Structure 1
């Protein structure tokens, strides 16, 4: 059977440089309208939280007001009053409460625990008047709204970038595979090779052995190539994406399905470190690049 490609240091360096150049181009050309629209939406939410629901005076709020906040879909804004913001899952645990308005309506104590949790974690830099037991000035309220909106907007836009990048990359890989004659079939749980797509087929994200793969591909020679799509915005982040995730999965798949039966691979885009990629290759992870999928196609063709 044909061995998967292994890239030299020079190969990896050239690909890394091209990927970073593309990353810079995409990031600098990113429309500011996404930020503006997201910011404006959250700015309006925080103003409503303050003006309609009285959240500028948290210590005086009632359980009914907390319910009203969640009924108006302002739970995220409420969580971002904390410093640092409290995640939805963390708030459920910390307050020992459901965040569903219908449940909170029937449980005043749960609503009060949510309020108490937010007050305890409140960001004193944005809301100094609460700790000082005084009314805020108009300037302080406006500053608190603006900084809170900026805080949640930064998080939302970052998440949007990450998800869009991954979705775009996965879509590109699937389109490429269809372009070289592969057939996409419905995802399925792949416990053994018998469960996998047939030769010349692939599917979307599914469980391969005990770990999920983004795109399992069945090569022409019968081997399974589970592909992980990895987008990184920094060399530090790339360690998490490739070395601590994709490489670990590669080892697990080789143990569970057989070293000669799988070709674990990753398709990369963004910012990566050559040294870390060399380590990934040494862990039997085959590397391809989203900007040069033809190399993946060349390997696939050789497996006929």
Structure 2
């Protein structure tokens, strides 16, 4: 475990403050309002899709067998609306991985039959009766009831989607800046694939959104993998955080991957973190103590200089 000097702690505390100020300045009223309305539109579409797939909530298992994503909507129609972790406690057979984020860009994952039936049973036992009166009456819903459910549930889902949307846009720009810098310096981009042998990524080559093998059964995805000298690979994680609570989650994800890679590959994989947004200084220190190289999006020239020193 690496120990930071007081000067290093002060330096990274200052960098975290600079990142926070840049985040605050980026949150303009016009941009926030635009993102919020986009999140509302997405939420309404998700609700409409879930109602259609479940025949207005009368066949929840069928909807979940078609796409586990619909569970996002069903959780928010419960009384009270329920988080993924809380729902997993209520329904032990349910898996969060079946509820793909709407912006995942991947094929929706259907839910296994038994899991769908169990999840449906929990939902029906805990649904908001005031928002779903047609189920108790055994009839089709009136248009006004559907409108009430839509306008009641959409803001709750949109609140989560708003945060995800903003973080996702920032992450795309963050990764894009690194890729542009590498290409400008003459690095060669290779298609993403499973990295499972040493020297598979040559010097000054890189991959975007690839997977790196670990001793565990499931490889860990890395945002950008870069070939350094002496067959060393840099596994860079690009992380954007909206607040200090979120920064704990982001940093924990980096540390989990760093530990897995170090256990499997030793010194032949270095882990780096490119940070942006609101990052707690204590979390930056945790990264350094785990020997993760830390860089900041607002000072990409420092990362560029470091890369030059490693190639």
TM-score by length of 2: 0.70
Does 2:193 align with 1:215?
no
Q: Structure 2 CA distance, aligned partners of 1:201 and 1:215?
A: 11
Q: Which residue of 1 aligns with 2:107?
A: none
Does 2:253 align with 1:245?
yes
Check the 8 A contact 1:192/1:257 in 2, yes or no. Answer: no
Is the alpha carbon distance of 1:140 and 1:189 closer, same or farther for their aligned partners in structure 2, counting shifts above 3 Å? closer
Q: Structure 2 CA distance, aligned partners of 1:181 and 1:40?
A: 41
Q: Structure 2 CA distance, aligned partners of 1:69 and 1:190?
A: 34
CA drift of 1:189 comes to: 2.1
CA drift of 1:203 comes to: 0.8
Describe the SS at the equivalent of 2:31: coil
Q: Which residue of 2 aligns with 1:23?
A: 23
Q: Which residue of 2 aligns with 1:35?
A: 36
| Unpaired segments ≥5 residues, structure 2 | 100-109, 215-219
Does 2:302 align with 1:302?
no
Check the 8 A contact 1:205/1:215 in 2, yes or no. Answer: yes
Q: Which residue of 2 aligns with 1:265?
A: 272
Does 2:166 align with 1:161?
yes
Q: Which residue of 2 aligns with 1:151?
A: 156
Deviations 1:139-198 (A, max 9, x none): 887554322111122222233223323222212211111122211111232223222x21
Q: Structure 2 CA distance, aligned partners of 1:218 and 1:226?
A: 9
Deviations 1:211-249 (A, max 9, x none): 33211111245422111111111222212211x221232
Is the alpha carbon distance of 1:193 and 1:111 closer, same or farther for their aligned partners in structure 2, counting shifts above 3 Å? closer
Q: Structure 2 CA distance, aligned partners of 1:289 and 1:214?
A: 15
CA RMSD across the alignment: 4.5
Q: Structure 2 CA distance, aligned partners of 1:256 and 1:110?
A: 34
CA drift of 1:133 comes to: 7.5
Greater Cα offset, 27-36 or 262-271? 27-36
Map residues 156-235 of structure 1 onto 2, 5 A cutoff.
156-195=161-200, 197-210=201-214, 211-235=220-244
Greater Cα offset, 199-208 or 109-118? 109-118
Describe the SS at the equivalent of 1:203: strand
Describe the SS at the equivalent of 2:27: helix
Q: Structure 1 CA distance, aligned partners of 2:128 and 2:121?
A: 14
Check the 8 A contact 2:272/2:292 in 1, yes or no. Answer: yes
Is the alpha carbon distance of 1:167 and 1:40 closer, same or farther for their aligned partners in structure 2, counting shifts above 3 Å? closer
Q: Which residue of 1 aligns with 2:76?
A: 80
Deviations 1:84-122 (A, max 9, x none): 2586x978956xxx99xxx9xxx9x99998765433121
Check the 8 A contact 1:251/1:284 in 2, yes or no. Answer: no
Q: Structure 1 CA distance, aligned partners of 2:148 and 2:190?
A: 52
Q: Which residue of 1 aligns with 2:298?
A: 291
Check the 8 A contact 1:180/1:297 in 2, yes or no. Answer: no
